[in-house]
Amino acid sequence: GDSVTQMEGPVTLSEEAFLTINCTYTATGYPSLFWYVQYPGEGLQLLLKATKADDKGSNKGFEATYRKETTSFHLEKGSVQVSDSAVYFCALPAPGYSSASKIIFGSGTRLSIRP
């Protein structure tokens, strides 16, 4: 079935370092792909999305490119800040539910940024 696999955490980086969080997916067809972020004690927020192959989603300095050749949607940021410390979830829509837009979430990657 459809699924997402993302890299295990925690990931610890120094401020201003380059960030990559890997995400690969298995899907029927070419669904939209999402990255969500969860700051400590909060719910999840949609960070960015891409709706078709080769699309690049971007927001708050983060980017991810929908690559169908490698079935990947890796999250990147050129220079991380302490405020980026959070848990990041890769996700895609579940197949076959036309009346309810269920989403399949990855297990989450915890990111900690050292000052």
- 93 CB contacts (<8 Å, ≥6 apart)? 31, 32, 101, 102, 103, 104
Residue 49 touching other proteins (CB under 8 A): yes
Instruction: Provide φ and ψ at 94, rounded to 5°.
Output: -70, 145
- CA 12 to chain centroid, in Å, comes to 17
- Is residue 9 within the footprint of other proteins (CB under 8 A)? no
- DSSP 8-class letter at 71: T
Q: In the complex, what is the shortest distance from the CB of residue 28 to other proteins, in angstroms, rounded to a whole number?
A: 11
Which of 6/18 has CB closer to other proteins? 6
Strand partners, 93: 103
Four-CA torsion 66, 86, 78, 19, nearest 10 degrees: -70
For the segment 83-112, give every residue that binds other proteins (CB under 8 A): 89, 93, 98-103, 105-108
Q: Which stretch binds other proteins (CB under 8 A): 16-24, 39-47, 67-75, 77-85?
A: 39-47
Comparison of 29 and 115: residue with beta carbon closer to other proteins = 29
Contact status: 31 vs other proteins (CB under 8 A) = yes
- CA pair distance 50, 95, nearest whole angstrom: 17
Q: Does 79 bind other proteins (CB under 8 A)?
A: no
Chain residues binding other proteins by CB under 8 A are: 31-32, 34, 36, 41-46, 49, 51, 89, 93, 98-103, 105-108
